[in-house]
Amino acid sequence: MGKSVRMAPAPSSNKRCGVFVNQLVYPRERMLGTIALVLGLLIWLALIVGTLGGALLGLALGFVLYLFAQSAHRGLPGPNPPNFGFLDVLP
């Protein structure tokens, strides 16, 4: 099959709870991440070009509707939000 890749240990400053933070879990993790990034970018590009930008308009409209839904939810009766003290000065 392929050659085994030997990785150098991470510096001791990155060692937390006995685990090296910068070590990769799988030997081909970096390559698989790159493949996922390229595929994701190609799918988004195809979506934007295929819908002539309509997908971006749909995302923007959905975000605005989400903001309206969030602001409407704050006015509904229900359990009181936690009191953080500094909010007392606001109307």
Q: CA separation (Å) from 28 to 18, 73, 77, 82?
A: 23, 45, 52, 46
pLDDT digits (tens, 9 = 90+) for 55-84: 999 999 999 999 888 887 666 566 665 555
Mean pLDDT of 9-33: 70
pLDDT digits (tens, 9 = 90+) for 3-19: 666 665 555 555 556 66
Q: How far is CA 90 from the centre of its chain?
A: 32
